[in-house]
């Protein structure tokens, strides 16, 4: 498997406190790293499925890959600043408000990180520290919470609600709905 990416992608994941250090990976040929291989296969499957998981899912996988590369294969060693307190409440509220206002869109970690004026990887760490969820998990939960309200109140089809909430496929919506609610959207709708 060959993974290729622009150096600027790797540079986006350097902690803010060390962004003056140039990005350079060790020259390694025929590397056998199970985590890189697993993330590569996950990204390949996501591309082949037509992006069913959305940009936040791809961003999460990319962030994990970049963090792994920086940690183990960088010429320079980087360390993240402490994340003991998470995001400041005001910034967290701005990000959460943005998420709720744009649930119908394919949100990216880069977009959310820009609101907080942080790199995507550092933002993801602080967001998870603040909410207990990765940005991707949080957005999915918000979408499913709103889906439950819409299924109770509106006379739209499950497919229409899935599309309205930014899911690329009804099956993707149904998968997450069942995982978080404990039943399929159809069973939920019929129980109302």
- Domain map (residue ranges) of the chain: 7-132, 138-190
pLDDT at 132: 93
* Three-state secondary-structure class, residue 90: helix
C-alpha closest to that of 106 among 63, 160, 64, 143? 143
Angle (CA) 72-76-80 rounded to 5° is: 75
**pLDDT of 120-158, one tens digit each?**
888 998 999 999 999 999 999 999 999 999 999 878 899
Distance CA 79, CA 15 (A): 7
pLDDT range class, residue 92, cuts 50, 70, 90: very high
Handedness of CA 164, 169, 173, 174 (dihedral sign): positive
CA angle 162, 164, 168 (to 5 degrees): 55
Q: What share of the chain is helix, strand, coil (3-state, %, to 5)?
A: 60, 0, 35
* Rg of the Cα atoms in the chain: 19
pLDDT of residue 3: 78
What pLDDT sits at residue 47?
A: 82
pLDDT digits (tens, 9 = 90+) for 44-87: 888 887 766 777 788 888 888 888 888 888 887 766 555 567 89
pLDDT score at 97? 97
Asked if pLDDT for residue 18 goes beyond 60, the answer is: no
pLDDT tens-digit profile of 19-37? 566 777 888 878 888 999 9
Please answer whether residues 153 and 164 qualify as being in contact, where contact means their C-beta atoms are separated by less than 8 angstroms. no
- CATH architecture type of domain 138-190: Orthogonal Bundle (1.10)
């Amino acid at each position: 498997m060959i993974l290729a990416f622009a150096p600027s992608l790797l540079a986006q994941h350097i902690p803010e406190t060390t962004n003056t250090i140039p990005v350079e990976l060790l020259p390694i040929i025929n590397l056998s790293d199970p985590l890189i291989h697993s993330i590569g296969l996950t990204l390949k499957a996501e591309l082949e499925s037509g992006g069913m998981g959305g940009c936040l899912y791809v961003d999460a996988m990319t962030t994990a890959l970049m963090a792994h590369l920086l940690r183990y294969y960088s010429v320079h060693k980087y360390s993240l600043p402490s994340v003991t307190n998470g995001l400041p409440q005001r910034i967290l509220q701005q990000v959460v408000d943005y998420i709720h206002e744009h649930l119908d869109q394919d949100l990216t970690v880069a977009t959310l990180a820009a609101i907080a004026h942080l790199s995507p990887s550092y933002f993801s760490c602080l967001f998870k520290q603040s909410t207990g969820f990765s940005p991707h998990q949080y957005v999915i939960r918000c979408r499913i919470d709103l889906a439950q309200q819409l299924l109770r109140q509106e006379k739209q089809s499950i497919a229409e609600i899935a599309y309205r909430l930014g899911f690329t496929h009804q099956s993707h919506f149904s998968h997450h709905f069942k995982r978080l609610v404990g039943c399929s959207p159809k069973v939920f709708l019929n129980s109302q």
